Every structure is written in C-alpha cells, then in structure tokens.
Amino acid sequence: MLVHLSIHNYAIVDHLDLELDCGMSTISGETGAGKSIMLDALGLCLGDRADSAVVRPGSDKADILASFDLTQIPEARAWLAERDLDNDGPCILRRVITAEGRSRGYINGSPCPQGDLKALGELLIDIHSQHEHQSLLKTDTHRRLLDEYAGSQELARQVQLAAQRWKQTRNELQRISSQGDEQRARHQLLSYQLEELENLALGENELEQLEQEHKTLSNAEALLGACRQVLELCSESDAGNVLSALTASLNRLGAFSGQGGALSEASNLLASAQIQVEEAIGELNRFIDHFDADPQRQQWLEERLDTIYTLARKHRIQPTELAALQQQLFEELEGLNADDEAGERLAEELAAYERHYQEKAAELSALRGNAAESLAAAVQQEMQALGMPGGRFSIQLQALDNHEPSGNGLETVEFLVSANPGQPLRGLAKVASGGELSRISLAIQVITAQTSRVPTLVFDEVDVGIGGPTAQVVGQLLRRLGERGQVLCVTHLPQVAAQGHQHLFVHKRRGTDATSTAVSKLDESGRIEEIARMLGGVDLTEESLAHARKMVTSAQAA
C-alpha cells in the first residue's frame, strides 16, 4: 500500500509530506484548495504524462516521491526482481519535472523510462475518477472491466498476442503467395540460365588458355615459315649463315690468341654467341618437329570460344564475368527455394497459431460467461442501494460473425441497463440521465474494485451528482472496500467523509508573497468540525456539530 507521499514545488504545493495508513482515508477541503493535486502528483509517479506547467512558479523543478509497502503485493515484488530493482525496504517511485519540460523517473533510485513507472504503477494503485463514467460508454471498457472481474486479464492478453501472431503470419504468407506466379516464372528462368552455365562448365583460366592456343593454331603457316627462315639464316644457307660466320671469325682471331686484353674478350663473346645460336637452332628444330597444326583441334577451339562468347553476349556481360554470374544466379535461385520452404513453414505455423488462439479464446469465453452473470447480479444489487429501485443490469456477450482470430476474443461485451421498472434493457450509451450513469458507474467501480488484486484504490470525486441517503450508502461501500486494503477517497459529501477511517483536510496556506496548498491529518475533534462544515457551511452550529458527531460515531459502530 501507499505509505508516504512527498511533493515539492508541484502546482501550488511548495512542500508536502504525508503519511498514509491502511483503511479508508477521506480527503476533503474547500473548493479550489487543491484536493486533487495530491492525486495528480501521485499520478506522475505512476507514469502519467508530465508538463512543465506543473512546476511551481519560481522553482526550477517539481519533485514527487511515493513510497509503497509491497508486503502484500507479490506481483510487484516479482516485477522488481525480474529487473534487478528490488530492495529490502519500501519501494520508492520518484518523478522529477524541470521547468524546461524535461522529465526523469526513478524506481528505488535507479533511472527508468516512463513506461516502467506506468507498468509498476498498475500493480500498486487502481485510480477511479469522476470522469470514468464517460469511458463506460465504450464497449472496450466493458470488456476490460469484465476481464478484471473474472481475473482473466492475463488470459485476455494471451488471446490478444495469439491473434497478433496469427495475423502477422497470415500477412507474411499472403505476401509470399501473392508473388507466386511471378516467382515461379523467375524460378523457371533462373533454372534454365543456370543449367546453361553449368553445362558450359567453364574452368578457371580456361578462356585465357583457349584464346592463346587458338591464336597459335590460327598463325601456324606463318609461324612455321618464320622458323624455317631463321634456321636458314642461322645454319643452313650455303651462301653464308650466322653460325658459319661466327666459326670463321673465331678461327681468324684464334691465330692471335696470345694478345690478351680486348682481343681476348672479343673472342670470348663470339664463342658465347656461337653457343647461344646453336642452342636457338636446337629449340627451333624441336618446335618444328613437335608442332601439330591439327585443323580439327582448331575447329573445336573455335566452336568452344564461340559458345562462350555467345553466352556472354546473351547476358550482356564480358566472357570473363560468366563465373561470377553463375554464382549470382545460384544464390538467387536458392533464395526463391527458401521462400517456397518458408511458405510451407508459415502455413504450418498459421494453422498452429489458430489452434492455439481457439483454445485460449474458448477458455476466455468460458470465464467471461461465468463472470458476466455474477457481475451483472452484483451491480444490479448495488443499483438498488444507490437509489435506483427496480433498475436492472445485464452483460451481453455477442459472438463475432467474423471467424478470423480477433484480439478481443470470440465475442463482444456490452453492458445493458434499465434504470426504471418497465423499461427495456439498453446499452449504457443510450441512458439519458447523467446522474443515473454516474451512479451505475459507481456501482460498477465498487464491485470490480472488490475483486481487484491491487491493494490501494483511489476514488477521485466519484460521488458527484449523488446526495441524501444514497451518499451514505456510497460511503458505506467505500468503507467496506477500505477494510480489505487501502482506499483514498476525494469527496465533497459529508456522508462519505464520515465513513473514513482517517480524514485528510486540504486547505490553502497564505503567506505574504504566495499561496500554497497544505494537507492536515485531522484528529477526532478536527474531523467532526470538518464534517460539520461540509454539512452546514463556514459557520459551525451546535446542531451541525452534533449531526457530524453522530455520523462519525454511527460509521465507527457499523
């Protein structure tokens, strides 16, 4: 439960420290004193959106801190433990809003996003406001309240997630299926093109070798002629050749072999040239002897090269890029095959998700059906006590015509009411009287709050438009709720305020330069005076004090 609330520089509050107890705490005060300021500030600690306008004028920031005893809230303790935010003492939520509009949240001293404050806050406090009856005009609210009463919020969340997974899977499967004809045509083309490249079986560096060999065979006649001419010049010409000229030159210089110096060096070079020419003649002879000018080989080479060049032109690439193209086509074809496999897998998943959805949704429908009758009877009973004798209340569960999984389950939920005897049941949105709607709203809130697992319940002027004996019944209902946990109730009705276990009085504290809001915890006499003021105005009389004392005494004795 909420044990401490500290507010600094928020709206017209400069400093407020408030200790809170279990049971029902009523909060009253003069109009404009700021009764709802505490709850608004508390809402910031629970993840409500912040605005720089809430910072007290002249201050650089507003600072709100709320401490909770989690002894009776295992869900909140588990939530903190999962995020390593738990500690041994109370759970402390803090919110800081700067005058520039920046906002920071903390859980047990650790910075956290606003969403975490909101998620944890939903486990700690349930706030019912005077405007909540407006949300009762929406069937989404009807469904939420029924699920809360049935204790099926987690199951409803599972149904919603199951429907989301089903829809996501269906959309992905439809996307793949819509590409079916186009993909099949592309698959067929890729398979054909890849088969052509695989049949070509172009080896690494094969093109370069083929082109070189083809060039050699194409020039065979000229090449052989050139080789024979060189042999003629080097060794075979009777008119004179290089080898015989070198031999004669060495013989002539040999007669002067003793001269040494440059003559000796010249002789050595001529001898070296003679050896190299002889080796060249040997290489040329071997080339001529082994050269095979095979016309069939040349024709095969030309056909092979033509196949390679033609396939490259077909794909509008260079012949050297054919190997890379083959790999690219292979990868694309693999991707299409993967899509086919994904389609089969998604179809299986879609069927599994639908079975899971139907199972969970049917379970949820059963819980709703059982809870609807019980909740309707309880609300109808409270309506009688709240000044609507003969009023009827019913919860209609209408099966959806659409057989696709819906995040809301298998049916719609709508609250139907008849405020007066003899009138037919109609949807809440068609109830004419605002006063009737507010009382019906209060009855629903009180009943659903009784089944809430959240130990702290806040009612912010939910008794607007109610008076007389009905107001006393409202107070008794809220006190009954307070006996099972903690109830904070902002009220302007003395009949409700008298039912509280504690009474907090909100008032303005006026200084020389500024006005601020203060909250006092009233003792017995202060409480009687405040209820008397609520009964009879500013001037207290013996009658109003006696009446107030009797109201408090009666509430305590009940």
Identify the H or E element spanning 417.
Answer: strand 411-418
What's the DSSP call for residue 451?
T
Whose CA is closest to 507, among 12, 64, 45, 65? 12
Phi and psi at 229, nearest 5°, equal: -60, -40
Q: What is the pLDDT of residues 418-445, one digit of tens each?
A: 888 888 898 887 775 666 777 787 788 7
Q: Does residue 500 have a pLDDT over 90?
A: yes
Question: Please, where in the chain does CATH 3.40.50.300 lie?
Answer: 1-130+461-558
Say which amino acid occupies 465: G
pLDDT over 70, % of the chain: 90
Where does residue 389 rank: exposed (0-12), middle (13-18), buried (19+ CB within 10 A)? exposed
pLDDT over 90, % of the chain: 30
What is the C-alpha separation between 195 and 462, in angstroms, rounded? 78
pLDDT band of residue 527 (cuts 50, 70, 90) is: very high
Phi and psi at 159, nearest 5°, equal: -65, -45
Residue pair 17/32 in contact (Cβ under 8 Å)? The answer is no
Architecture of the domain spanning 1-130+461-558: 3-Layer(aba) Sandwich (3.40)
Write down the pLDDT at residue 522. Answer: 93
Whose CA is closest to 13, among 36, 31, 45? 36
Where does residue 409 rank: exposed (0-12), middle (13-18), buried (19+ CB within 10 A)? buried
Residue pair 9/53 in contact (Cβ under 8 Å)? The answer is no
Where does residue 336 rank: exposed (0-12), middle (13-18), buried (19+ CB within 10 A)? middle
Write down the pLDDT at residue 133. Answer: 55
Write down the pLDDT at residue 338. Answer: 61
Rg for the chain (alpha carbons), in Å?
48
Whose CA is closest to 520, among 13, 29, 24? 29
| 3-class DSSP assignment, residue 553 | helix
What is the C-alpha separation between 431 and 421, in angstroms, rounded? 14
**b/e for 11-36, b at 16 or more Cβ within 10 A?**
bbbbebebebebbbbbbbbeeebbbb
Lowest mean pLDDT among 52-66, 212-226, 279-293: 212-226
Taking residues 199-223, what's their average pLDDT? 78
Whose CA is closest to 67, among 50, 42, 30, 48? 42
| 3-class DSSP assignment, residue 68 | strand
How high does pLDDT run on average in the chain?
84
Taking 3-state DSSP, the helix, strand and coil percentages for the chain, each rounded to the nearest 5, stand at 60, 15, 25
pLDDT: which is higher, 409 or 240: 409
Q: Does residue 403 have a pLDDT over 90?
A: no
Lowest mean pLDDT among 146-155, 487-496, 509-518: 509-518
Q: What is the pLDDT of residues 101-150, one digit of tens each?
A: 899 999 999 999 999 999 999 889 887 776 555 667 788 888 988 998 89
Taking residues 404-416, what's their average pLDDT? 92
Whose CA is closest to 45, among 143, 145, 152, 118? 118
What is the C-alpha separation between 378 and 382, in angstroms, rounded? 6
Where is mean pLDDT largest: 303-312, 324-333, 340-349? 303-312
**Long-range contact set of residues 532-538: C-beta below 8 Å, sequence gap at least 24:** 532/494, 534/28, 534/492, 534/493, 534/494, 534/497, 535/494
